[in-house]
Amino acid sequence: MLIFKKHTLKLGVMTAALLGIGFVACNDDDNNVPQFRSKEYSLKGVRGADSNIVVGTVKLSENYDSTVNLVVTLNKSVNNTQQVIRLIKGSITAPATDTIKVDSVAGTGNAVTKTLLQNVREIKVGNDTISFRYDSAVNYTAFIKVSVKQDSVTAVGNVFKAAQ
């Protein structure tokens, strides 16, 4: 019985040592994994007290191949109504006449998400095509405007450089 206890103790110590080596070898801090960047911007309401309330977000994210995505999330939408989303050059206080992207998402009465740009390397602004990678995007001046009709704006928010 005494011999069995001695071997059990040795076996336990060796198992613990091997597990410790295994945990160190499997460390998740791997320097070869690329770090993707992302930045989030707020959309606010436009009427009265709503102008201080965050009603949605816009997320710019970088992909492995250096393309970018731009995803708009509205916390609430108007049921059975198209929510028109516009990415416009300039800022809310100094808009330009160039609309970069227009898209829409069907309202459900609940939160909705729309990918406005996906795997984009460049955008067309007016007659110009410009590089649109993560670094150039965050230095670009633009804003998002969401409406349920042409004149009924429900949310706005500066994005990229305009949000600084």
Of 2 and 81, which is predicted with more confidence? 81
User: Residue ranges of the domains in the chain?
Assistant: 38-163
Average pLDDT over residues 139-145: 95
Q: Is the model's pLDDT at 81 over the cut of 80?
A: yes
The CA distance from 158 to 92, in Å, is 6
Q: Is the model's pLDDT at 119 over the cut of 70?
A: yes
pLDDT of residue 43: 96
pLDDT of residue 163: 83
Q: Is the model's pLDDT at 20 over the cut of 80?
A: no
Q: Is the model's pLDDT at 13 over the cut of 60?
A: no
Q: Is the model's pLDDT at 18 over the cut of 90?
A: no
In sequence order, which residues have a C-beta less than 8 Å from that of residue 50 and are 6 or more positions away?
Answer: 44
Tokens of 60: 């710019």
pLDDT of residue 24: 47
Tokens of 11: 């076996």
pLDDT of residue 158: 95
Question: Of 146, 120, 148, which is closest to residue 132 (Cα–Cα)?
Answer: 120
- DSSP secondary structure code for residue 46 in this structure: -
Of 148 and 11, which is predicted with more confidence? 148
Query: Which percentage of the chain shows pLDDT scores above 90?
Result: 64
Q: Within 10 Å of residue 31's Cβ, how many Cβ atoms?
A: 5
The tens digit of pLDDT for each residue in 37-64 reads: 999 999 999 987 778 899 999 999 999 9
Look at the domain 38-163 and name its fold. Immunoglobulin-like (2.60.40)
